[in-house]
Amino acid sequence: MISMIGDIIELTKFESLFVKSLQGRDYKPFIITSRGAFSNFIYKVMGVNNCIYLEDYLEKVRKVEATHIIASKILDNCNNINSMLGMTYKGVNIGRYVCSTVLRQTHIGEVDFASPAFLSIVRQYVHAAIQNVLAAEEIFDLVKPVKTLFLERGYSPFGEFFDISVNRNIDTIQWIGCHTPKAVILKRYNRNNIQYHPSSLSKKSWDIIKTFPWNEAKGNMVKKELFIHYDSGEWFNEVGTQFNTKILNRENIYLKMGLEPGKKVGIIFSHILWDATFFYGEDLFADYKEWLIETVKAAMTNTNMNWIIKIHPANVVKKYRENFRGEWAEIVAVESTLGKLPDHIKWLMPDTSINTYSLFAFMDYCITVRGTIGLEAALFGIPVLTAGTGRYDNHGFTIDSESKNAYLEKILTLHNMPPLNDEQNRLAQKFAHGVFCLRPFPLQSLSVEYEKNKAATMKVKYNFKDLTQWAESTDFRNFGDWVVNSQDEDFLDPAVLREVVGH
Question: What are 203-251's pLDDT values in tens digits?
Answer: 999 999 999 999 999 999 999 999 999 999 999 998 888 888 999 998 8
CATH number at 208-438: 3.40.50.2000
User: Quick one: what percent of the chain has pLDDT higher than 70?
Assistant: 99
Model pLDDT, residue 502: 63
Please report which confidence band the pLDDT of residue 503 belongs to, taking 50, 70 and 90 as the band edges. Answer: very low
Measured CA to CA, the distance from residue 283 to residue 5 in angstroms comes to 28
* Cβ-based burial of 309 (10 A; exposed 0-12, middle 13-18, buried ≥19): buried
DSSP state of 357: G
Give the tens place of pLDDT for each residue, 92-104: 999 999 999 998 8
Identify which of 234, 246, 222 has the alpha carbon closest to the alpha carbon of residue 179.
Answer: 234
Task: For residue 167, give Cα distances in angstroms to 135, 137, 418.
Answer: 15, 11, 44
Q: Stretch 192-212: mean pLDDT, rounded?
A: 96
* Contact (CB, 8 A) for 98 and 122: yes
Give the tens place of pLDDT for each residue, 467-489: 788 878 888 889 999 999 999 99
* Contact (CB, 8 A) for 351 and 386: no
Measured CA to CA, the distance from residue 74 to residue 128 in angstroms comes to 13
**How far does Cα 225 stand from its chain's mean position?**
20
Measured CA to CA, the distance from residue 92 to residue 159 in angstroms comes to 8
